[in-house]
Structures are given as structure tokens and as C-alpha cells.
Amino acid sequence: MINRKIAPQIFDAVDFNLQLKPYTKFTLDNGVDVYSIDAGAQEVVMVECVFFAGNCYENKNIVAATTNFMLKNGTTTKKAFAINEHFDFYGAYLNRSCHNETATFTLHTLSKHLPSLLPEMAEMLTDSIFPEEELAIYKQNQKQRLEVNLKKCDFVANRLIDEYIFGFHHPYGRYTSPTDYDSIQREELVAFYKQFYTHGKCIMFVAGKLPSDIEAQLNNVFGKLPFNQQNIVLPKVEAIAAEQKKYHIINDESGVQGAIRMARPFPNRHHPDFPKVQVLNNIFGGFFGSRLMSNIREDKGYTYGIHSYLQNLIQQTAWMISTEAGRDVCEATLEEVYKEMARLRDEKIADEEIDLVRNYMMGGLLGALDGPFQIISRWKSYILNDLDDAYFYNSINTIRTVTADELQALAKQYLQPEDFYELVVI
């Protein structure tokens, strides 16, 4: 029996022996690679199709996102209502999302319902018809949502800072306008769908308590589809950053709050500095106990929250600082951010602070591996970024061993005020 008068022993997360469960890979008859994680106690499963159909492949703005959104909006045999009713009947969740390089189509369901749902999922990937009436509703809804969002300073700031970093004609810096929705045509969606979905490049990720015949089920349904019939190459677009570095925009004359974004271009995860800078970023502004939070929220009271992070992008990326503050203290907030950069450049970080962040990051990794869906999500990120499990274990080693001297050197290299774009939207 547990003696509850004695406190349990406390362990440092940094001492945990974290292991990344390996995936099982098999290939369908049509060449589609499937990465699977068989784990978990509940009879649930996730099936995700990843297509190389993100916005970097489109020739016209929002074609990729609109095509992806409307995958559920009707086939030659079923209308949108019938499709949604079918998946609701089985308690399943079917979602889709479009990103810069890829677009996903994801099913969450009980394992026993896969035979009833996988064929419906495949039908939408080969037989969607993009009805004009559904497209009209989509346009109207998106324009109304955009009209509302454009009144929000944080929404405007998120759009503009990416444009300044990457350029408006780069997939990472592009954003939508009402005229984009007005000009979209059904024929453009059908053409994009046929090229990048029906005959496009696809890989699959499955996770959960998988049935013993999962490979046969997937092959019977998806292995006969005409995927991977084209050589789809990721376009390489050069980022063209804005020449001006500081922007102050009035979006609402009566606004009482300003959205602050500060960012600088940064190498992607293949750069050797990336894992070490992740540690530095957490000290700087990456969690609730960071220096930016302690100073600007706890001490100054300028904001409810301020965060810094490295954008999770495949090609170029950026180091971003994001917050909303009172209109009257936006300039003071900027000054404090630069002061914290200077502290990291000029003063060596104490061992106690580094140890706190080490344990925070290791604890975060432990939570990120809690269950099959989380594990396959990490593998998906690695595979799409041409990384392997060596990156995972190298990151752990970096968290455990990076020194104060190394972090200070990185701060001197990357936390220079003149390298940062500065945007305030009120």
C-alpha cells in the first residue's frame, strides 16, 4: 500500500530516456507509401492522406485552399449533406486542411468502421464535382469572414509580417483579398483537383489501434486509385524580403490595442544551429516562464501574453515574436523586447535558468509522444522535412548538453535588432 504521508520522489525530465517509437512502412499497389504506428488502448484510428497540393503549386491565389475545402462538398453520387450525414452516423470526423506545400484529408474513426468509411473517403478524392451552388456559398462565407477578420489588428499583423519577411509573391507571404474569392472559377478547381489529387502525389499516415488487416484494407480501397502518375516537383521560390524594416499601421482609428510582430529570416531545420536556437528561443520567449513573459507581462503588465517561436516551415523560415499590447504601451513593449535581446547577448545565462528550460523542453517532448496520433504527427513532420529519427535524438542531446557560452554566441549572431522586421498594427 502506498504511504501517502511520504511525498513521491521527484525526477528531472532531462534524465528521462525518451524513445521515438519507429513506424512501419508499406507500399500500396499504386506506389503510395504508408507510414503506420500501431499503438494505444482504445479502438480508434486515424487515416491521413497527404497530397503535394499546397498553395505553392497554384497558378492563381486561393485555388489550392478552395479545392481542398470543397472535397467534402459533393460527388457524382452524393451531395454535401449526405456525405456529412454518413460520417456523422458512424461518429467519425473527416477533416481537410491546406498548407504551403501540402494538403491533407484526414479521417478519425473507430477501427471497426473503417470498411464503411474508407470507400467514401476514396470517392471524394477521385469523384468530387465542386458544385456551383456550394462554391457560391463558400465564396460568400469566406468573404464575410474575411471582412470581419480584417477589422482585427492581430489578423492584419499576421498577414503583413509574413509578406515583409518572404514577399507577397512567395507562398509563405501571400494572403487573400475579396477579389480573389470573386474571381475563382469552378473549372480552375476541377483542373487543380485532377492534377494534384486524383492523379497527384500522395503519401499516407495511419495510427491508432490498427486492425490486423489494415494493409489489405488500405490497398483494396486506395491501392487502385490513379495516384502518383505525375512527377510533381516542389517549386523553389526565392524569398524577397522588404527593404523597409519598421512599420506602424493604423487599422482602426479608435482601437485601444495594438498587435506587435517582430521577425527575422532564419534557416530551416536542416541548419546545425536550429536545435540549439530552439533552446535559446524558449529562454527568450518560448514558454510561460520565459524572459519576455517575466518582463513584459509579469513585471510591466503591458500584455496578457507574449511569445517567440521558430516558424514550422519546410523551406525558408523565420524567428517570430508575437504579442498584443495596449495602444499606449506598444513602443515601450518594443523597447523591452530589444532589452531582453541585449541581455542574452551581453550576459551569460545562469545554469539554473538553463536547467529549468531543459526540463520544460524534455517534458514537452514527453507529452508530444503521448499516444499514437502524437507519435505519427512527429513522424509526419520529419518525413515531410526529409528528416529521420536521428534528428529527434540529436535534439534531445542538444537540450541536455548545450552550454551557456553556446547560447550567448547564438544570441550575438541571431538576436541583433537590425535584423528584425518590426510591425505595429493598431
Reported confidence tier of residue 9, pLDDT bands at 50, 70, 90: confident
**Which amino acid is it at 119?**
P
Give pTM, 2 decimals.
0.92
Residues 348-397 have pLDDT tens digits of 999 999 999 999 999 999 888 989 999 999 999 999 999 999 999 999 99
Q: Which three cell numbers stand for residue 119?
A: 470507400
pLDDT at 267 exceeding the cut of 80: yes
Hey, what domains does the chain have and what are their CATH numbers?
Answer: 24-222 (3.30.830.10), 246-425 (3.30.830.10)
**Among the listed residues 336, 338, 364, the one whose alpha carbon sits nearest the alpha carbon of residue 279:** 364
Calculate mean pLDDT across residues 229-234: 80
User: Which stretch of DSSP H or E encloses residue 35?
Assistant: strand 33-38
Task: Round to whole Å and give the CA distance between 33 and 142.
Answer: 34
Average pLDDT of every residue of the chain = 95
Task: Round to whole Å and give the CA distance between 39 and 379.
Answer: 14
**Is the CB of residue 424 less than 8 Å from the CB of residue 260?**
yes
pLDDT at 166 exceeding the cut of 80: yes
pLDDT at 14 exceeding the cut of 90: no
